[in-house]
Chains A and B, each alone.
Chain A
Amino acid sequence: MKRIFILFTIIQISRLIYADTDFGGSAEISALGLIPQNEYSSPTNPDNQIMQLGDVNINSSMLFRLDAWDDLTNFESMFKISYYPIGSLLYNPPAPGAELVKEMIDKVGENIISLDIYRLFIDFSLFENLTVSIGRKPYFIGYGYGWNPSDNLNPLKDPANPDAELKGLDSLSLLWSYENLLNLEVITALNKEIFKMGVNYSDLAFAANLSVILDGIELVTTSYLNLNDERSSKVNSLGFAFKKDLFGMGIYGELILLDGSRNQFILNSTPAYKEDLTTSFLVGAEYLFESDTNVVLEYYFNGEGYSRDERSSYEEFLELTYQTYGYPSVLHRDSNYTKQYLLLNINQSLYDYNTTLGLAAIYSIDSTNLMLAPTIELEISENMNIVITYSGQLDFVEDDLTEFELSPMKQMYNLSFKYSF
C-alpha cells in the first residue's frame, strides 16, 4: 500500500515539472516568557518535575511552501522545521525508562530539530466538476472561530493554538461540485500517520460533507464512519452547520451527534469512554464595524466536557497516577475541559500605523475560569512583522477544579519576529 502510494505520488508530481510553481515561506524566532507562580507546580506538573519549566524559552522555526499547478492538477506542500531545546526537559523524567531516554539524548544531543510535514497532496480534475485529492490535505469544516463541533474529521480544535489547523490529514478524497451551489466531498482518511506505521483497512475512516450555498445562507452536513471495532477516540457522528447573513451580521451555528465520547472520563478511578449519545453545539455571531473593528461572540456547549463531580474525580486520578507511575496521566484539553464556554474575539486594524490589535477572551461558565490573550501585531516592513502577546488564566472563585488550577503556566508573554520570503 505504501509503495503504491509513493509511486502514484511521484507520477503525479512528475506531471508538474512544466507547471507554474511557487516557493515561499517564513522564518520565525520567538521568546516565550513565563511569569512565575507557584513555581510552575500544578496537578499536571507536580513540583515542576514533569515539564521542568524555565522562565524564558527561545524557539525558532522555518516554514516552507512549495506549490505547483496547471489547468488540471494542483500540488501543494508545506513543511515546518523547528528547533527545540527539549533534551534538558527529558533528562530528568521520574518515569520508568528514564535511563533509556537519557542514553538516547546522550547520543542525539540535547537539542532536537524536527521536520513536520504539514501538507503534501495533489488534486487532479477527472472531469470539470469532479476532483480527486490524495496525500496530506487540510479540510476546513465549520464556521466557529474557537471551536468547530460539527468537525469530527480533524483533531479537536484548540482556540489557544490556531497553527494546529495548518496540518492536513492523510487522505484520499473525491469532490463533486455543481456550480457554486452544491459540493459533495467523500473522504477516506487514515487514523494513523502513513509514513510511520503503514495502515490496515481497519485504520480507515470515511467522512462525507455536503454543503449547499443558497442566496444569503450556507448549509453543511457532515458524517463520519469509523471502521475500527476497537473503541478509540474516533466515533461515528453526524453534524450540521449553517451560516446566515442577518442585518449585516454573520450568524452561524454548529451541532454534532456523537456515538459516544471521544475523550475519557474517570469512572471508578479508571479512564473510560462514555457510550451514550453525546451532543455538542455552538452558536456565534460576527460583525465588522465601519471602524474596521471585527467582533466575534460564541457560545459553546461541550457535551464531552467534565461536570464538577467529573472534574473532582479527574483531579484525584491525576494525583493517583502521579503517585503510582511518577507522572500524572493528563486526559483533558484546555478550553474543552468544562461544559460551557463563551468566546469574545475583537480585532482592530490600524492601517495608518501598520498595526493590528487583537483580544481573545475565553470564559468557562462552569468553572468561572477566564483566559485572556491580547495581541499587538506590528508590520515593520513588507516582509517583517513583530507580534507581542500576553496570555493569562484568571479565576474568580476559590476552587481547585478549574483550568487555572490545572495549568502550570498561568501567565506568559510571547515576543515573536517573523520574516516572510
Chain B
Amino acid sequence: MQITKNGKELPKQVINGYSTNIDGANYSLSIYRSPKKMKGNANLMIGDDLWVKFASTGRVRKLSSSAKKNSSGGSDFSYVDMGSGGEGMAFNYDAKLVGEVKVDSVENYEIELIPTQNNESGYEKLLIYITKNEYLYTQIKYFKDNSNIKTLTFSDYRDVEGVKYPFKMSMKSHIKESVTELLTTKIEFNSEKVKESIFNTNYLKKIK
C-alpha cells in the first residue's frame, strides 16, 4: 500500500490479507509486514467487530465501532473499506440502478447504494460503476454531507484462476491532498492458507 500525502510518498506498507465468508458473515485479517514500526500489527474483522493487535506490546484490543470509520494505518481507506465488514454490500446497503454512463470510454452501470440501518460505515451514500460487458468494478464514489469525499478506482484487471481481479486500487481523497494505492502483488483464491482457525483472537495474539 502506497500512501502519498501532499505529493510526498510515505514508507510503503506491505500487508498480507486473508478473507473468507462463513455462514454469510465476512471474515478478514490484515497483517502488516512493513515498515518496521508497523510490522506485526494486525486487524481482524468478523462481521461488524474489529480487533487490533499492537506488535509493540502484543496486546489485542477490541475497538469501538466509532473506530471503524477511521483511517486504517494513515491511509485513505477506513477499516470498513479494508475489511468490507458485516454481511457484505447486500446487507449493508439498499441498491438502485441510477443509469448508464461512460467511465474511461467504457459503458458502465451506475448504481446508488444507500446505507441500511445496520450500516456503520459512516457514509451517506455510495455510487458504484460496473462495466456492462463483464460486470467489473470501475469506480466507487463515497459521499458524506452531500459531497463526494473520496473515489476508489479499480484498474489492472488480471485473470487469476478464471477470476478477473483488479491488481491496482487507488483511493483518492477529495477533501485533502492524499492518495492511497493498494497494489496486489499476489493473490490466491480458495487458498489452503485461509483456514477458519486464523480468524480468531487467539491466532491474532500469535501473529509476528
Contacts and interface: CB of A to CB of B under 8 A. Distances in A.
Interface in B140-155: none
Contact of B66 (A166, A213, A289, A382): A289
Contacts of B200: 177, 179-180
A131 B200 CA distance: 14
Interface in A157-215: 162, 165-166, 175, 177, 179-180, 183, 213, 215
Contacts of A128: 197
Contacts, number: 89
A288 B176 CA distance: 20
Contacts of A351: 5, 71, 74
A286 B197 CA distance: 29
A175 B74 CA distance: 35
A80 B5 CA distance: 36
Contacts of B59: 140, 165
A248 B71 contact: no
Nearest to B176: A352
B80 to A, nearest CB: 12
Contact of A248 (B46, B61, B62, B64): B64
Interface stretch (B31-39, B89-97, B107-115): B31-39
B208 A248 contact: no
B6 interface: yes
B122 interface: yes
Contacts of A69: 206, 208
B143 to A, nearest CB: 15
A213 B74 contact: no
B64 A382 contact: no
Nearest to B35: A382
B124 interface: no
A287 interface: yes
Interface in B83-107: none
Among A69, A245, A379, A421, chain B packs the most CB atoms within 10 A around the CB of A245
Nearest to A168: B58
Contacts of A131: 202
Given A292-B71, A383-B36, A248 B120 contact: yes
B60 A382 contact: no
Contacts of A354: 10
Contacts of B208: 22, 67, 69, 76
B65 interface: yes
A180 B46 contact: yes
Interface string A8-31: 000000000000001010000000
A215 to B, nearest CB: 8
Contact of B74 (A138, A215, A349): A349
Nearest to A246: B64
Contacts of B133: none
A354 B197 CA distance: 36
A339 interface: no
A136 interface: no
B187 interface: no
A262 to B, nearest CB: 23
A138 B70 contact: no
A138 B36 contact: no
Interface in A69-111: 69, 74, 76
Contact of A420 (B5, B37, B49, B74): B37
A216 B49 contact: yes
Given A177-B202, A180-B199, A290-B70, A218 B62 contact: yes
A35 interface: no
A74 B70 contact: no
A24 B39 contact: yes
Interface string A126-142: 00100100000010100
A249 interface: yes
A311 interface: no
B57 interface: yes
A248 B201 contact: no
B122 A213 contact: no
Among B5, B6, B36, chain A packs the most CB atoms within 10 A around the CB of B36
B172 to A, nearest CB: 15
A1 B100 CA distance: 75
Interface of B: 5-6, 10-11, 35-37, 39, 46-49, 57-67, 69-71, 74, 120, 122, 176, 178, 197, 199-202, 206, 208
Given A245-B65, A288-B64, A382-B11, 19 more contacts: A69-B206, A123-B206, A138-B58, A177-B200, A180-B199, A180-B200, A213-B201, A215-B47, A215-B49, A248-B120, A287-B64, A288-B70, A290-B69, A292-B70, A351-B5, A381-B11, A382-B36, A383-B35, A420-B37
Interface of A: 22, 24, 67, 69, 74, 76, 123, 128, 131, 138, 140, 143, 162, 165-166, 175, 177, 179-180, 183, 213, 215-216, 218, 243, 245, 248-250, 286-290, 292, 349, 351-352, 354, 379, 381-383, 385, 420-421
Closest 8 CB pairs of A and B: A250-B64, A248-B66, A351-B74, A382-B11, A420-B36, A288-B67, A382-B35, A67-B208
